[in-house]
Structure 1
Amino acid sequence: MGASSGTVDTLMSDFLRKSGGVAVIDGGFATELERHGADLNDPLWSATCLLTSTNLVRQVHLDYLEAGADIIITASYQATIQGFEAKGFSKEEGEAMLKKSVDIAREARDVYYERCHESSTVFTSDGRILKHRPILVAASVGSYGAYLADGSEYSGDYGDAMNLEFLKSFHRRRVQVLAESGADLIAFETVPNKLEAQAYAELLEEGIINIPAWFSFNSKDGVNVVSGDSLTECAKIADSCPKVVAVGINCTPPRFISGLIQSIKKVTTKPILIYPNSGETYDAEIKQWVKNTGVADVDFVSYVNTWCEIGASLVGGCCRTTPNTIRAICRTLPNRSSMP
């Protein structure tokens, strides 16, 4: 698809209208790669598969499309030019890897559309065949903390010396490459603090990016973002940026989502997106999900219609959710309930 500057304002509203009012985002990506045997014990995390397992990346995208996802998010969350350079690649090779993440997602969409054309098995809620439902490719941008791979993406603590200009410089070329690679929008994910939200907003306002974006924050207390910064203040930054077409929450336990939606609604009328994790806890030191406190798919999905009723327009899953989670979400949504 791709969005020109003239369609930035309408891309999300048109997409949601064509999706029946609620669109479905895909689920956990890195944890799904691991479930298929990928070893992600690497500073590049899921992006290491751009070097070693492109077929697996494509297959996971396809699995989510087959499950009913309307938006697939690229394997670029922890892919940075600086990260690739630290592994011995040139700047040009790092940029090529970023572009590849978008190419693979677009290829998966093309394959899925071809399968739909051949089988004609995708239906709308009133039984009409929908061979080519709208599907967006969102280019993932993880935080500076994700690049550090030290758990600071879950605390937002970058040290007292961190400043706005550094963050803008760190992200600028990466975001520009992703935006020019054919993605439909940029997904600024797991934004941990107000400073990084401001850096993203100012980059968007520079005019170097001609596609829309969403901002998705994370919370560990159900009130603030993980740094302790006010969620409403962070959401106000997103609301004030014309290129931001949706704002919401990801990688946060399901039990917190309803309250967070209510907080976001106080400061924006933009579409609200939510894609929580399974509710399990990630230990950044040992780099493992621990404390089996997550919720089963049936319990996760029981929240979905409430989230939509109170304001969410885009719903999916983050870490430890699977294509089965997304399939269950699709089946519970009134506008998608007749999907196979």
Structure 2
Amino acid sequence: MIDLLDTLSRRPVVLDGGLGTLLEARGNDVTSALWSARVLRDDPAEVRAAHAAFVDAGAEVVITASYQLGFGGDIPDAEVEALLRRSVSLAREAGDAVVAASVGPVGALRADGSEYTGDYGLTVDELRIAHRRRLEVLADAGADLLAVETIPSPLEVEAVLLELAALDIPAFVSLSADSTGFATPGALAAALGIAASGSSVVAVGVNCCSPGAVLGALTEGPGIPLVAYPNTGETWDAATRTWRGAAAPLAADAPSWVAAGARLVGGCCRSMPADIAAIAAAVR
């Protein structure tokens, strides 16, 4: 396994792709509100195999199946904690890769599309409480770092940064560049700057957005390693729970992201092991 912090200072590091997409392609049902967490609960061997497929394709960092797992929902809290820990152990077993424990936004736990707006009606203190226990469990579960991803608003960035300050684990923070929460001019750049100010934050950037949104976001990024792992170009319809539009080859744009400062590069929703293999070839 690579030394992530040392490697980031020398060359790009390849992230994995869309875990839920691959699980679905392997015949698993990810249509429930739990998404890939349902497979984590009911068929953990499938999660391990999906992680391994991305590692075999060239991923050096695998992101756990904990994105949509949180406390206070339909799953009893004791089971949630066990599943969060399982998500880390399965990723660790999948191959010689850095394990990044996924921390999705509050909207992902609601499964109502608000992860793309950040319009939760919650204060910073309420957001901190919503994130706290999951962050603490994942920080203690043996991951190499936290992947705080798809954060859709400046308010949630602030809340997460305050909680990360109390934890002894590195993290990267990735924002949803297409979120309406960053629609105000300069809002995304300002939020990236806030995220980069965290003492434990090793990289910041964007994910779960259109490929065309990446380069503009990175050129406004602060002076620390940047993260880029967009969707393949389709758009998620939260009402019908379907993808619309056509896919774009992420590897074609990946070198330009690296030139703009991206050091953690991969794919998000709809990206498969073949996409990650192509990205790895393009940036190495």
User: If the TM-score is normalised by the length of the shorter chain, which range does it land in?
Assistant: over 0.9
Number of the residue aligned with 1:312: 262
Task: Write the mapping of 1:71-150 to structure 2, written as runs, cut at 5 A.
Answer: 71-83=61-73, 86-87=74-75, 89=76, 91-109=77-95, 113=96, 135-150=97-112
Number of the residue aligned with 1:154: 116
* Contact in 1 for aligned 2:8/2:225 (Cα 8 Å): no
Distance 2:65 2:146 in 1: 12
Distance 1:163 1:68 in 2: 40
- Structure 1 position 178 matched with structure 2 position 170: no
Number of the residue aligned with 1:293: 246
Give the structure-1-normalised TM-score.
0.79
Among 164, 168, 173, which residue is 1:215 paired with?
A: 173
Among 229, 244, 248, which residue is 1:275 paired with?
A: 229
Deviation at 1:226, TM superposition (A): 3.1
* Contact in 1 for aligned 2:85/2:138 (Cα 8 Å): yes
Task: Write the mapping of 1:190-339 to structure 2, written as runs, cut at 5 A.
Answer: 190-205=150-165, 207=166, 209-220=167-178, 225-227=179-181, 228=183, 230-264=187-221, 268-290=222-244, 292-295=245-248, 297=249, 300-333=250-283, 335=284
What amino acid does structure 2 have at the position aligned with 1:35? A
Distance 2:134 2:197 in 1: 23
- Report the secondary structure of 1:81's partner residue: coil
Deviation at 1:252, TM superposition (A): 0.9
Distance 1:48 1:82 in 2: 16
Deviation at 1:251, TM superposition (A): 0.7
For structure 1, which runs of at least 5 residues remain unmatched after alignment?
A: 2-10, 114-134, 336-340
Deviation at 1:15, TM superposition (A): 3.1
What amino acid does structure 2 have at the position aligned with 1:144? V
- Report the secondary structure of 2:94's partner residue: helix
What amino acid does structure 2 have at the position aligned with 1:192? P
Deviation at 1:12, TM superposition (A): 4.5
What amino acid does structure 2 have at the position aligned with 1:105? A
- Report the secondary structure of 2:180's partner residue: coil
Number of the residue aligned with 1:5: none
Deviation at 1:16, TM superposition (A): 2.0
Distance 1:38 1:63 in 2: 15
Distance 1:146 1:189 in 2: 10
Deviation at 1:180, TM superposition (A): 0.4
Q: Aligned Cα RMSD in Å?
A: 1.4
- Structure 1 position 49 matched with structure 2 position 35: no
Task: Write the mapping of 1:3-82 to structure 2, written as runs, cut at 5 A.
Answer: 12-17=4-9, 20-82=10-72
Number of the residue aligned with 1:124: none
* Contact in 2 for aligned 1:102/1:183 (Cα 8 Å): yes
- Structure 1 position 168 matched with structure 2 position 122: no
* Contact in 1 for aligned 2:128/2:163 (Cα 8 Å): yes
Q: How big is each residue's C-alpha offset from its partner over 1:54-81, in whole Å with a ceiling of 9 and x where there is no partner?
A: 1110001000000000100000000112
Runs of 4+ with deviation above 6 angstroms: none
* Contact in 2 for aligned 1:49/1:57 (Cα 8 Å): yes
What amino acid does structure 2 have at the position aligned with 1:177? V
- Report the secondary structure of 1:59's partner residue: helix
What amino acid does structure 2 have at the position aligned with 1:164? V
Q: How big is each residue's C-alpha offset from its partner over 1:155-175, in whole Å with a ceiling of 9 and x where there is no partner?
A: 11113xx10111111110111
- Report the secondary structure of 1:69's partner residue: coil
What amino acid does structure 2 have at the position aligned with 1:141? V
What amino acid does structure 2 have at the position aligned with 1:234? A
Give the structure-2-normalised TM-score.
0.95
Computing the radius of gyration over CA atoms, which structure comes out larger, 1 or 2? 1
